[in-house]
Structure 1
Amino acid sequence: MLDYLVATYGKPVVAIIDGIVMGGGAGLSLQRTFRIVTENTVFAMPETAIGHFTDVGSSYFLSRLPGFFGEYLGLTGTKIRGAEMVECGLANHFMLSKDVRLLETALDEVTSSDTKTISEIISKFMHKPNVKQHGAFSRLEIINKCFSRTTVEEILSSLESEAETRAEKWILEAINWMKSACPTSLKISLRSIREGRTQGLEQCLIQEFTVGSHIARRTVSDDFYEGTRAMLLDKDRNPKWDPSKLELVTDEIVDRYFSKADEDYMESLQLPTRSNLVDTMRPKL
């Protein structure tokens, strides 16, 4: 609800991301009119490591990144820095961390909600990002080749084939993540992002709420609780996923997460009528 209210707020919202932005923080900040990052910014969606899935509106903002970069980020938990966020479209402004307080002071003095006025103020503090040529986004051609596949199994197999001819670090890291992540979470996340390509933010949030409700209520599996135990509480980093392998996660299992629950206590997300929703993300390329 909060993600939706902020995204559809009548006045321009400026998100200044000067550090780690993952999961819920990404949902609050990456659907704003102004998304400002710095050299300290680190973004990732690592939910599949704990048996959860890419939610908080990520089926909306990840699906709108160029090519299949959103699927790559959602399925591999990859961390990218502020400069690369601007390059791929997750953010639209880059500034130096040392100037954040100055920008905040300048914005505090604004008496208008005019987008152009705010944009002019922000532009005074902008800095040209130093994009690393070996970053993941520079490998978009390979990412598109692998992550455009229909199933998670096919994506993983394609990555392994690439690794045989080019043992690049980012490919090996993607393979290792996907092999250790929750199999069901990977399949839920892929379906969520793929369907998000044709949905508006409201539809994405409602569907993510349905999936999240099933996960929280354990109506299908205990994976989220097992993942939380293994990765965050006991920290043995040895979760026992059920099902344990990708090939054991059937379409019927995934369908259950996306279906409306029969239980009376699981209601659908009810969002208020809003007229200010603007697609602030770059169009899919």
Structure 2
Amino acid sequence: MATTTTENSNSVVFQTLGTASGKHIGVATLNIEKALNALNIEMVQALTSQLTAWRSDNNIVAVVLDGAGEKAFCAGGDVRAIYHAALATPGEVTAQATDFFKQEYQLDYLLHTFAKPVLVWGDGIVMGGGLGLMAGASHRVVTEHSRIAMPEVTIGLYPDVGGSYFLNRMPGKTGLFLGMTAYNMNGADAHYVGIGNHYLNRDDKELLFDAMATLAWADDKAFNHEMLHALIDDMQLECDTPLAPSQLETHQVLIDDLMDGELTAIVARVSALDDTLKQAQPWLAKACKVMLAGSPISLALVHQQSQLGTEMSLADVFKFELGLSVNCCAKADFAEGVRALLIDKDRNPKWLFSNVASIPSDLVSSLMISPWDESDHPLRDML
């Protein structure tokens, strides 16, 4: 497969790969390996610019998103600048938060609405903002080394980047469970809930790229989608390490029972979970421990998020989440969560409220009210 480097930022490498059909595949590699390829604003802008160009280039028939190294596709968003801005102007919606989330969500929406096939190689860690990129792709490949999570409750946020859309489309109450517990999914779990729609082994990546070069790419986008799906499905049958059983699928009834009802009842149920059960199911014990240590405000937001259902359009979801995200940075536990986990790293956050029962009834609803009218909303042009 012929390779041409087209344009590089400091943190994303862009290449085009030639194919036997004469068409090209665009490849974007997140390239800050030491930071587990966490998204910063420069990366978001570079990806948006190149993807927009590739979308209108008739010679580009598909796009691949990959991450440098084997540890992570993308471990989330780099939120340190937002944290410092929040400290400087407590209680206020900052330009830094608005600009970062706005541009990140625009990139996610671009991927969701990209007519050409977009393949994400979701190997290693895929969290937060990385999951936003992956969820927008049409071909989402997970591997035996995938570790996928929405850990926002640990930093006083909530599962954004379209989480209000894709979490509510998962089986039963799995989406609520993932949002509240920051549970680390393996490839099988991610495949079960629909985050991944293909499974291959880590060692299959180069084989996949080589095989993509031999496909009879056409100008028909629907044909190209189906052809790529068929290729990966055929390769999945040959995996040396097959798809393992999913804990989420195996224990769907237990998860639905745990996550049923009002928030206070859910927290009480999880708090009282039998020690024998937790010993027998260490994956569940860890998930519940993370949930109970997370921000009570975040838990309340995740619970409200789960009530949104599936009626909102994708564009409306991103508009809603932009308001909620900047409000969290200004008025909720975000700054303290980032301090404890990423800045001081003492892992001892002092949340605004000690438990969900002590949260004022009007706080959560106020956080969900947009700081902008429709006419001046930063994403007003998103349709």
Pick the TM interval, shorter chain. 0.7 to 0.9
Give the percent of matched residue pairs that are identical in Structure 1 and Structure 2: 31
After superposition, what is the alpha-carbon deviation per residue over 1:120-165, rounded to whole angstroms, capped at 9, x for unaligned? 22223214633236x23311101101112222x2112122344266
Asked whether 1:148 is paired with 2:260, we answer yes
> 2-side partners of 1:257 and 1:101: how far apart?
46
Report the residue type matching 2:178 in the other structure.
Answer: L
Asked whether 1:190 is paired with 2:303, we answer yes
Task: Give the 3 Å change call, closer, same or farther, for CA 212–72 of structure 1 in structure 2.
Answer: same
Is contact 2:187–2:243 with CA below 8 Å preserved after alignment?
no
> 1-side partners of 2:286 and 2:307: how far apart?
23
Aligned to 2:277: 166
SS of aligned partner of 2:236: coil
Is contact 2:271–2:292 with CA below 8 Å preserved after alignment?
no
After superposition, what is the alpha-carbon deviation per residue over 1:177-230, rounded to whole angstroms, capped at 9, x for unaligned? 1221011011112212321433222222111111012123x1x23x21111111
Higher relative contact order (CA 8 A, sep 6+): 1
Alignment of 1:255-274 (within 5 A): 255-261=365-371, 267-273=377-383
Is contact 2:151–2:179 with CA below 8 Å preserved after alignment?
yes
Is contact 1:210–1:268 with CA below 8 Å preserved after alignment?
no
> Which has the larger displacement, 90-99 or 162-171?
162-171
Aligned to 2:202: 97
Aligned to 2:145: 40
> Which has the larger displacement, 94-103 or 169-178?
169-178
Aligned to 1:232: 342
Asked whether 1:245 is paired with 2:358, we answer no
Aligned to 1:136: 248
Asked whether 1:74 is paired with 2:217, we answer no
Task: Give the 3 Å change call, closer, same or farther, for CA 193–173 of structure 1 in structure 2.
Answer: same
Ranges in structure 1 where 5+ consecutive residues have no aligned partner: 274-285
> 2-side partners of 1:98 and 1:165: how far apart?
38
> Which has the larger displacement, 24-33 or 190-199?
190-199
Choose which of 108, 116, 135 in structure 2 pairs with 1:3: 108
By how many angstroms is 1:28 displaced?
0.7
Aligned to 1:283: none
TM, length-normalised to structure 2: 0.65
By how many angstroms is 1:262 displaced?
6.1
Report the RMSD for the aligned CA atoms in angstroms. 2.2
Is contact 1:210–1:259 with CA below 8 Å preserved after alignment?
yes
> 2-side partners of 1:94 and 1:194: how far apart?
31
> 1-side partners of 2:318 and 2:348: how far apart?
31
Aligned to 1:211: 324
SS of aligned partner of 2:235: coil
> 2-side partners of 1:246 and 1:86: how far apart?
32
Is contact 1:136–1:170 with CA below 8 Å preserved after alignment?
no
By how many angstroms is 1:109 displaced?
4.7
Aligned to 1:181: 294
Task: Give the 3 Å change call, closer, same or farther, for CA 105–169 of structure 1 in structure 2.
Answer: same
Q: Which has the higher strand share?
A: 2
Task: Give the 3 Å change call, closer, same or farther, for CA 262–62 of structure 1 in structure 2.
Answer: closer
Is contact 1:156–1:175 with CA below 8 Å preserved after alignment?
no
Aligned to 2:229: 119
Is contact 2:340–2:346 with CA below 8 Å preserved after alignment?
yes
TM, length-normalised to structure 1: 0.86
Report the residue type matching 1:148 in the other structure.
Answer: D
Report the residue type matching 1:156 in the other structure.
Answer: V
> 1-side partners of 2:190 and 2:321: how far apart?
23
Aligned to 1:282: none
Aligned to 1:63: 168
- Larger C-alpha radius of gyration, 1 or 2? 2
Ranges in structure 2 where 5+ consecutive residues have no aligned partner: 1-105
By how many angstroms is 1:79 displaced?
0.4
SS of aligned partner of 2:308: helix
SS of aligned partner of 2:126: strand
> 2-side partners of 1:92 and 1:76: how far apart?
23
Aligned to 1:202: 315
After superposition, what is the alpha-carbon deviation per residue over 1:18-57, rounded to whole angstroms, capped at 9, x for unaligned? 1111000101112322111111111011011011111000
Report the residue type matching 1:122 in the other structure.
Answer: I
Aligned to 2:41: none
Aligned to 2:80: none
> 2-side partners of 1:261 and 1:188: how far apart?
17
